[in-house]
Amino acid sequence: MSKNNRLRYCSFCGRDESQAMLVPGMDGYAHICTDCIMSLDQLLQERFQQDYPEPQKPKKQQAQAQPVIQPTKPKKAQQENAIPKPQEIKKFLDQYVIGQDQAKRVLSVAVYNHYKRLAHNAQMTDVEIEKSNIIMVGPTGTGKTLLAKSIARLLSVPFTIVDATVLTEAGYVGEDVESILSRLLQECDYDAKQAEKGIVFIDEIDKIARKSDNPSITRDVSGEGVQQALLKLLEGTIVNVPPYGGRKHPEQRLIPVNTQNILFICGGAFDGIEKRIAQRLNTRVVGYDTSETTKHIDRNNLLDYISPQDLKSYGLIPEIVGRVPVLCHLEQLDRKALRTILTEPKNALIKQYTRLLQLDGIELKFEDKALDYIVDKAISSKLGARGLRALTEKVMTDIMFDAPSLKQTDLVITYDYAKKQLDNTPEEALA
């Protein structure tokens, strides 16, 4: 009988194909029926349970008290409770920055609304809340960068500080505007979803102002060209970012980042903008009521009257001004504020030098007259809090050099010593 016509039967139980369904082997001669397959499967399960028995669970004691499970709050409520309130943010900023109450209030509201906006838009409601970018204007040494760094201590979203002075138009020597997002990606380990919820502080925004209103044959690659490149970035778009910065090239791996939910905070000194503010206020005065109209204007604090029109006259293009709708100013620090900056904040200058000498076993103290003299010199230099740093460094240089080698355990900075160290220093050297 040929291979195709012979009778097929199970090689285990002997039943032929008329009595059971057969599964042929690879050679076509051996077969096994479905009943034998099921029996074999049951046998293997029993053998496995014998070799690997399951551990018995301990019996519950009836007398043992059952733990009470407290109902957990929904995730939405937990997220809302985690959002720091504006007053809490301002209270935190007060520990590091002296004065500037109005700027603190504006920043606190902006950060709080940024948190709420992310949570609200994630729910896909019918009303989509748009972001409000911020621009801070104030003289040097008034705390713009310090405010940004202090917020970074509090936030749980990616935060980065970038400098606008190194940015140039695409294709020229310098950094492209996409490098701003490269640094934000580095802060969150290249997680694009986290970076899209971050905050970016662009410092020295006034350095990219338009150099002149007159047309020129040369391109303003570090001024108006950078402003135009920042337009879509500030408003919200998908940007292909090189992960490690630098220039783009065709074979480079790019990370798409949506800037729709990134909050941009810009800061700049805008040196000389007070003249433009005064000019604008004077042009509005017409007729015989000149003195009556202008006598309420505080000539010593013209930044109180700053408006978007002044930013445009300074050199920012109207498109940029429209994309940073929240405008706040920082006031020039007075004598009382500078005196407080020296001693009261958590990272006060005097506390820093005191801690440095404590590491060498030396207790440092300052006379009040010495501190007052440092403040007076800082006011005359017109450098704000940065002037305090330069002056204090000048006073402490010789002491920091000699003190670690001395056996003296107490040091007192007197007025005469501070005056001797600072009177020989020209004010130009402090800038």
Tell me: pLDDT of 388 over 80.
yes
- Count CA atoms within 13 Å of residue 169 on its CB side: 10
Greater confidence (134 vs 70) lies with 134
Q: Give me the pLDDT at residue 425, please.
A: 54
| pLDDT(337) > 50 | yes
Convert the pLDDT of each residue in 9-63 to its tens digit: 888 888 887 778 888 887 777 888 888 888 888 888 887 777 656 555 444 444 4
Residue 150 pLDDT > 50, yes or no? Answer: yes
Whether the pLDDT of residue 217 is over 60: the answer is no
For the chain, domains (ranges, CATH) are: 1-52 (no CATH), 82-329 (3.40.50.300), 335-430 (1.10.8.60)
Q: Using an 8 Å Cβ cutoff, are 101 and 234 in contact?
A: no
The pLDDT of residue 396: 92
* pLDDT one-digit tens code per residue, 281-330: 875 444 444 555 556 777 777 888 899 999 999 989 999 999 999 999 99
